[in-house]
Amino acid sequence: MVGGNHTPASPAPTVCVTGAAGFVGSWLVMKLLQRGYIVHATVRDPGNAQKVKHLLELPKGEGKLKVWKGVLEEEGSFDEAIAGCEGVFHVAAAVNFASKDPENEVIKPAVKGILSIINSCAKAKTVKKLVFTSSTAAVHIKETQQLEYDESSWSDLDFIYANKMGGWMYFASKTLAEKEAWKAAKEKQIEFISIIPPLVIGPFLIPTFPLSLVTALSPIMGNGLHHNIIKQGKFVHLDDLCEAQIFLYQHPKAGGRFICSSHHATIHDVAKMIRHNWPEYYVPSEFKGIEKELPIVSFSSKKLQEMGFQFKYTLEDMYKGAIETLRKKGLLPYSTKEPADIEQEQHSGKEPKS
């Protein structure tokens, strides 16, 4: 049943989620448990209590959640976790923008990891579908930019390697991993789907500050290196992404690549929205090196929506969930302005200071 829960009368299917301790992976595990799935969750170090505590404390996890070790660089590392599973959600990714050896620390692990998982699926002989979480980084990094992208677009590896722009190793890893995955899945006759999210925002379970939220909240945090990423931003709520992953896994006719992007906005739109909803934060009105007038760039989710999927959340919902969670975890201050400045703005009825 597409999008449904499993009744007590039907046996609960077993699925594997890689990268289960991460920002996306842990939320996906939670959603799967809520639907009655038995989940094999893989993490790099199951013995690290700090990194798996949020998984082990999930409601409905008792008796239905098992944590396994899975390392992208180690062939066969996922064999045991995937054995007996009907489905696999590959979310794990090597992300290290500061790497001094990106080829061996980011790119090769990403490619080896997905190929290892496809091999594990083939060995298991029980896996009906593999859902791979790719990225818009595999879609739009090319010399000539477009105003709209769909699933037919691929990032240009020659352009990425020739220019080695900021974040190039991540762009290359996601593009290479997905391309190699499609070849291997066809060869091994594994039913394969890739879901392609842009910047993912929302409430979360992990104990640390998610990298995607460092980017999303860069207008507040003043991290100029991240401003270009949301200069012409594309966004999706974490919950919408995980719902879409499960939707595509359950849909009998789903196949191919699926962009999962619900909103687009420039950095100026985002800044205005933050100033309006959270006037207690200082947000600049101008961003160095970024033009004031910017065309909107969008990623079309038409294919996903035509399958019947519906997005639930607004851009404000995404930021609200993220900010509230960061505050509760003590990862974001409640204000970056003096109380007197906030009070003066509220009494004057003017747009908050930038």
pLDDT, position 347 = 52
pLDDT over 90 (residue 104): no
Identify the CATH class of 14-201+235-262+298-313. alpha beta
Task: Name the more confident of 166 and 108.
Answer: 108
At how many degrees (to 10) do helices 23-34 and 238-250 cross? 60
Mean pLDDT of the region 102-118: 92
DSSP 77: T
Region 198-222: mean pLDDT is 96
Residues 145-188 pLDDT 10s: 899 999 999 999 999 999 998 889 999 999 999 999 999 999 99
The pLDDT value given to residue 342 = 47
Complete edge-to-edge strand list for the sheet that includes strand 65-69: 65-69, 38-43, 14-18, 87-90, 129-133, 192-196, 256-259
On whether the pTM is more than 0.85, the answer is yes
pLDDT band at 117 (very low <50, low <70, confident <90, very high): very high
* Average pLDDT value over all residues in the chain: 92
Residue 203 per-residue DSSP state: -
pLDDT > 60? residue 352: no
Per-residue model confidence (pLDDT) at position 344 = 55
DSSP 142-156: SSS--SEE-TT----
Q: Average pLDDT, stretch 236-262? A: 98
Q: How confident is the model at residue 354 (pLDDT cuts 50, 70, 90)?
A: very low
Give the torsion through C-alpha atoms of 32, 33, 36, 40, to 10 deg: 80
Residue 95 pLDDT level (bands cut at 50, 70, 90)? confident
Higher pLDDT, 212 or 98: 212
Q: Average pLDDT of 295-306?
A: 96
Q: How many percent of the chain have pLDDT more than 90?
A: 81
The pLDDT of residue 141 is above 50: yes
Among 108, 107, 130, smallest CA distance to 119 is for 130
